[in-house]
Amino acid sequence: MIALRKKGSLPLQALAWAWPTVRGRAGAAAGIVVLSFLASGAALLPPYLTQRLVDDGIVGGRMDVVLQLCGAFLALLVAGVAVEAVSRLAYLKLSAHVLFGLREQIYRHLQTLAPTYYARTRGGEILSRLDGDVAEVQRFAIDAPMGLLNAAFSLVVALALMLSLSPLLTALVFALVPLHVAALLGSRPWLERSAQAVRQQSAAMSSFFVESLRAMKFIQATNAGARQEAELRAHHGDYFAALRRSQVASLGAGGVQRILSGLGVLLVFAVGGSLAAAGELTVGVVVAFIAYTTRAAGPLQTAAGVFMGWQRAKVSLQRIRELAAELPTVTSPAQPVALAQPVRGDLRLVDVRFGYGEARVLDGASLDIPAGRKLALIGASGAGKSTLIDLLQRHYDPGAGHILLDGVRLDRLDLAELRRRVVVVDQDPVLMPGSVRDNLRFVAPDADEAALLRALDLAGLARFAHAGGLDKAVGASASALSRGERLRIALARAILQDPAVLILDETTSGLDLPVAQAIVMAVDRVFAGRTRIVITHNLASVGELDGVVELRDGALVEQPPARPPAPLLRAV
């Protein structure tokens, strides 16, 4: 669960959200800060050495001082390069650790959300938040604290050195700081609006690619390529316009800061030069002070960068908070009830009511399926058969009534345990990228080679399995396999899961009758004695049954069976 729901300061929330992933690397973060301080110190010493080189060495005619200071310059240069290299590599490791941790945190939350969330949310929008928005928050959460710490250290050291050279010139330069602050505050709304527009257009483009690539075969078949290209060009135009506005906003805010920094340098030239001409300052002091004025602008630029970065991060954090606000519809109980072993697979629905908003799908549905029975579930399209499956696997909980497995309410069972016991094979099974072996082990990671081959054999893919089929790539969207092969691989996965209840959701729909009957025979052979629910529009393809129930008007209505079975409906 993502802890972003409490009210409070958004910057603090960004840092608090990242803190659990940073906490394990606190030592590495502290080391990076120390290395950063060393690098900043090495960068601040050269102007001071320059003052001595000019005044004591060159003007004073001391070549020994010149050579000593040149050696010191070289040592600082080498040390600075080494420290910077070590610091950047350490930062890369820390930054990657935090980014990956935050992304895993979001992905973990996404796995708890109900199917309705994915039905109403564009895939590209989710991808944009999972990738771009998380990366933006990560950059701010790591870069901002470290950048500000380093900037504060550099500013304090530079201020001390500048005061030692000339209090008057120091006061002159730092008198411009209020102007820097005012310029930043004035640019805030512009920066925030432009960042929001860029993230929205990026999400829209991601959604376009996700949806169009998934539908490419349909686009080709309908000769819609030109229209899709025109839509892509429109997305490009909108994205470029938003990107240009964001760039103009950043350039404007950054440009004002650079102008003010340059103004400080010019003031030092003018005032310091006149003081040097009057003999009140040495040339070396003026040269060193100009260098420090430039370096003192660095921390101010860093603060400005953090400010502008926060405007972008704030937008991304808000988008992530919207995702975090999507609460899981179901969770495992704190103290789940264990099923008695062995699990029989007895299912019972007691006056189950469920709907999506105002639309009622199940309205007082009751059903008793004794363990080991094979039941056909029929009903018109949209009657709620898929909803019933989602309730059996507890993607949702009923609005009223209960569903029980072996006498235990589903909401009292551990979710992972329930979904191991109730397995669904649908008409378009999902196969993950990789090989057939990868897909079988997706549900049974510890299964050995013999178990995989046996599962394929039982599913009717013996020749396929022993001809190197385990190593066969399934292809993008399982396009390298026929539909029959995909269904049999899904059946092999169910065999490996060893469920107590198997649900076939239109599994044989659209297949030739002999192929459909062969798959049903394999199911009946392997899962004999297990509870089976077959959702179908064609009873001729599902073999012998113990009963038929129709889902009609939110109720489960028993149909006359082909042979007398035990009662399936129980008065409630």
- The pLDDT score that the predictor gives to residue 5 is 47
Question: Are residue 141 and residue 279 in the same domain, yes or no?
Answer: yes
Question: Are residue 154 and residue 28 in the same domain, yes or no?
Answer: yes
- The pLDDT score that the predictor gives to residue 245 is 84
Question: Are residue 137 and residue 257 in the same domain, yes or no?
Answer: yes
Contact status, residue 103 vs residue 141, Cβ threshold 8 Å? no
- Does the residue 105 lie in any domain? yes
**Domain-terminating residue out of 265, 292, 324:** 324
**Cβ contacts of 539 within 8 Å, gap of 6 or more:** 376, 378, 545, 548
Q: Side chain identity at 192, as an amino acid letter?
A: E
Question: Are residue 398 and residue 357 in the same domain, yes or no?
Answer: yes
- Does the residue 91 lie in any domain? yes
Question: Are residue 288 and residue 400 in the same domain, yes or no?
Answer: no
How many residues appear in the chain?
A: 572
Question: Are residue 177 and residue 240 in the same domain, yes or no?
Answer: yes
Question: Are residue 257 and residue 380 in the same domain, yes or no?
Answer: no
**Domain-terminating residue out of 324, 359, 394:** 324
Kindly state the tokens that stand for 399.
Answer: 């609005």
Question: Are residue 353 and residue 434 in the same domain, yes or no?
Answer: yes
**Cβ contacts of 59 within 8 Å, gap of 6 or more:** 282, 283, 284
Q: Which helix (H) or strand (E) holds 214?
A: helix 177-214
Question: Are residue 228 and residue 302 in the same domain, yes or no?
Answer: yes
- Does the residue 339 lie in any domain? no
Question: Are residue 392 and residue 469 in the same domain, yes or no?
Answer: yes
CATH of the domain at 487: 3.40.50.300
Tell me the C-alpha distance between 194 and 315, whole Å: 10
- Does the residue 118 lie in any domain? no
The answer to whether the predicted template modeling score (pTM) of the entire model surpasses 0.85 is no
pLDDT along the chain (572 residues), means of 10: 49 58 71 78 72 71 76 79 80 79 84 85 80 78 75 78 80 74 71 77 80 72 80 87 82 75 75 77 75 68 68 76 84 92 94 88 92 92 89 93 95 93 89 86 90 89 77 72 85 92 86 80 89 88 88 87 49 38
Contact status, residue 518 vs residue 364, Cβ threshold 8 Å? no
Question: Are residue 244 and residue 203 in the same domain, yes or no?
Answer: yes
- The pLDDT score that the predictor gives to residue 430 is 84
By residue range, what is the domain housing residue 185?
Answer: 11-112+123-324
- Does the residue 330 lie in any domain? no
> How many domains in the chain?
2
- Does the residue 342 lie in any domain? no
Contact status, residue 10 vs residue 254, Cβ threshold 8 Å? no
Contact status, residue 429 vs residue 487, Cβ threshold 8 Å? yes
Question: Are residue 304 and residue 365 in the same domain, yes or no?
Answer: no
- Does the residue 29 lie in any domain? yes
**Domain-terminating residue out of 257, 290, 324:** 324
CATH of the domain at 52: 1.20.1560.10
